[in-house]
Amino acid sequence: MRVPVLDTKMRPLMPCTPKRARHLLNKGKACAYWNKLGVFCIILKREVEPKNQMIAAGIDPGSKFEGWSVVGTKDTVLNGMSEAVTHVKYAMKVRRNMRRARRHRNLWRREARFNNRQRNKSTLPPSTYSRWNAKLRILDHLRKIIPISDVVVEDVNAITKKGCKRWNTSFSPIEHGKHWFYEKIENLGLKLHLKQGWETKELREKFGLKKVSQKDKKTFNSHAVDAWVMAASISGALKPTWTGLFYWIPIRWYRRQLHRFQPGKGGIRSRYGSTRSLGLTRGTLVRHVKYGLTYIGGNMKSRVSLRNMTGEILTRSAKVSDLKVLTVIRYRTRLFPSLKAGVFAA
Determine what percent of the chain is predicted with pLDDT higher than 70.
Answer: 88
Mean pLDDT calculated for residue range 77-94: 92
Q: Residue 121 has what pLDDT?
A: 53
305/277 Cα distance (integer angstroms): 9
The answer to whether residue 157 scores a pLDDT higher than 80 is no
The answer to whether residue 170 scores a pLDDT higher than 80 is no
Q: Residue 168 has what pLDDT?
A: 56
Q: Residue 160 has what pLDDT?
A: 63
Q: Distance of CA 149 to CAs 78, 81, 228, 281, Å? A: 15, 21, 15, 32
pLDDT band at 119 (very low <50, low <70, confident <90, very high): low
Q: Residue 343 has what pLDDT?
A: 35
What pLDDT, in 10s, does the model give residues 13-63?
999 999 999 999 999 999 999 999 999 999 999 988 888 899 999 999 988
Maximum Cα–Cα distance across the chain: 71
Residues present in the chain in total: 346
Q: pTM for the whole thing?
A: 0.87
Show the beta-strand stretches assigned E in 168-322.
191-195, 245-250, 276-277, 280-281, 284-288, 292-300, 303-307, 313-318
Residue predicted with more confidence, 285 or 253 = 285
pLDDT band at 342 (very low <50, low <70, confident <90, very high): very low
pLDDT band at 207 (very low <50, low <70, confident <90, very high): very high
Q: Which of 69-78, 225-234, 299-308 has the lowest mean pLDDT?
A: 299-308
Residue predicted with more confidence, 346 or 94 = 94
132/51 Cα distance (integer angstroms): 32
Angle, vertex CA 222, rays to CA 155 and CA 342, nearest 5: 120
Q: Residue 114 has what pLDDT?
A: 66
The DSSP output letter for 311 is S
